[in-house]
Structure 1
Amino acid sequence: MGKSAMEAKGPKKAERARIRVADASRSPKGRYHHGNVRQELMAATLQIVAEKGVEKVSLREAAHRIGVAPSAPFRHFASRNALLLAIAEEGIARLAQAYAPVRATAGQAPPLDHIQALGHAYLGWAYDNALHLQILWTPLFLDSSASTFIVETSVELLDMWESAFRAAACDMRPGVDPVMAAFAARTQMYGLARMWTDGTFYEEGYVADPVATMRAAFSHHIDGLRRR
């Protein structure tokens, strides 16, 4: 399969469609109305990531895209990394929001069903925020540990996962280590999400409904943990 065919099956096509919708907010001359330069710079950065990758992000290009002077971004972000970090913080805040309705129902369903719902929430977030995901956990381009908010939120969500799996221990087949099962579930969710964002869902049926595909794969994993 050629590169262009592969790329067409990743998230870029969908992201570009979303970008075109966002472009409708520009003035006829192609310039944004500057109600919130900080947010506009972040949106322009996501456009750059969609088109060129994280490594091509620059404050200068983001400024050019929204029609402000090259010096304007520095009123909001001290550096390129600060800009990317702000987007990463937005991404993990959205993840916490995606989990919130499921966390609120803890104890109302069998523990493994609750874990399955948490996984489905993550995968829905990954689909809706594919570009944020690429920025958030790409240590080659961004050190997310520089953000206290990201570190603290990550620790909270990790504790959430391990607590959920410990609560489900009695429902798991004999010999399953809940902590290792939690780790395996997280790696599967992340792997599925990155397969989507990297454009490696080659099978036509999987590409037709990637969220359903990812959720079905995660459910298959959880079903394998159930006590028979």
Structure 2
Amino acid sequence: MTNQRTPYHHGDLRTALLAEAVTMIADGGLESMTMRAISARLGVSRAAPYRHFPDKSALLVAVAAAGFERLTARLQSTDAGAPRSGMGRFQRMGEEYVRFALENPAHYRLMYGKEALTREEVPELRQAGEDLLALLVGVIRAHQRDGQIKRGDAEALAFVAWSGVHGLASLIIEGQIGPANDVDELIRQTTRTLLDGLRVRHRTGA
């Protein structure tokens, strides 16, 4: 009988485990992803995954950390390509945040959803979350300096903005906003509304 197991080199199995875990969570939820099941799907021995991750929790932490890294890199790239004038930086980052969540629901659920890991208990994830928040705070401070966003605690304003885009992303992912809605337009409307709330109001003469 031919051995159907896929040969993995030492450096390849870890990447395969991360990718397969995302697929399993996306298809069947968090409970469907077990170390035994993922071994069977990849065609490796039951012991093989434990050479890279001591248990399921460690694998999930790695998946969530990869999600934070990808989201941060995506927002950094978006920010680098956005116009320096006006509020383009803020709006584009908000839109890309939601699109990342919709394109990577398994990652996003582990990062922020009901299946999210407790970041306070995992230093790696806590730092990743803080780095992502710092990126948004930096953009808000830049817009405050150029007079686009009203003065105030930049971190508090960042939480307001984050709440808006996170709320929209979560509603779509959990099926509370159906396919009949124009998702792209909802994303644009949400970010524009957030911008309007943070924008400096210039008084006009009576």
Task: Give the TM-score of the pair, scaled to structure 2.
Answer: 0.80
Query: Which of 200, 206, 213 is the matching residue for 2:186?
Result: 213
Runs of 4+ in 1 over 6 A off after TM superposition: none
Quick one: structure 1 residues 61 and 107, their matched pair in 2 at CA, closer, same or farther if it must change by over 3 Å? same
Change (3 A) 1:159 1:47: closer
Gaps in structure 1 of 5+ consecutive residues: 1-28
Q: Is the 8 A contact 2:165 2:190 kept in 1?
A: no
Is the contact between residue 60 and residue 110 of structure 2 (CA under 8 Å) also seen in structure 1?
A: yes
* Structure 2 letter corresponding to 1:34: Y
- Match of 2:35? 59
Rounded to whole Å, the distance in 2 between the matches of 1:125 and 1:55 is 23
Alignment of 1:1-40 (within 5 A): 32=6, 34=8, 36-40=12-16
Aligned-partner SS, 1:78: coil
d(CA) in 2 for partners of 1:86, 1:56: 17
Q: Which 5+ residue runs of structure 2 have no aligned equivalent?
A: none
One-letter code aligned to 2:8: H
How many aligned residue pairs are there? 195
Whether contact under 8 Å (2:82, 2:92) holds in the other structure is no
Distance 1:140 1:102 in 2: 27
Which structure's relative contact order is higher, taking Cα pairs within 8 Å and 6+ residues apart? 1
Q: Check 1:211–1:151 CA distance in 2 against 1; reply closer, same or farther (3 A cut).
A: farther
Structure 1 letter corresponding to 2:181: G
Q: Percent identity?
A: 26
Q: Give, in angstroms, the shift of residue 91 of structure 1.
A: 0.5
Measured at CA, do residues 128 and 30 of structure 1 come closer, stay the same or move farther in structure 2, by a change above 3 Å? farther
Once the 2 structures are TM-superposed, how far is the Cα of residue 106 of structure 1 from its aligned partner?
7.2
Letter in 1 for 2:72: A
Inter-CA distance 118–151: structure 2 relative to 1 (3 Å threshold)? same
- Counterpart-to-counterpart distance in 2, 1:115 and 1:223: 12
Q: Is the 8 A contact 1:115 1:165 kept in 2?
A: yes
